Amino acid sequence: MTATEIKKQIKNKMHGVSKITVTIGEHEGKYDLNVNVWGYDKYFNEEFECYTETIEDEKKAITKAKRMATTLANNGYKANYTGFENC
């Protein structure tokens, strides 16, 4: 999963985006990178999409999550990295 792939999905599925959060969840010794997208369709109905990727190494997961949030923010989306999810 790359920022480019997510941007394509957003463009195909949503009319606009309210916000994007990038989080990490720990699951059985692996780390799930979650990109949560809140947006709306052409009729301004709220929509939610979640894109997930599992990464083995904690440092790699954190680095990729921060990079993903920065890239999406630099492309004009209201995106931020919120760290680890409370499980």
Report if pTM > 0.85. yes
| Model confidence at 27: pLDDT above 70 | yes
Contact 34, 54 (CB under 8 A): no
Residue with tokens 């890239």, as numbered in its chain = 71
Q: Kindly list the structural domains of the chain, giving each domain's residue range(s) and its CATH number in brackets, ordered by start.
A: 3-84 (3.30.360)
Mean pLDDT of the chain: 93
When pLDDT is averaged across residues 53-78 and rounded to a whole number, the result is 95
Cβ-based burial of 4 (10 A; exposed 0-12, middle 13-18, buried ≥19): exposed
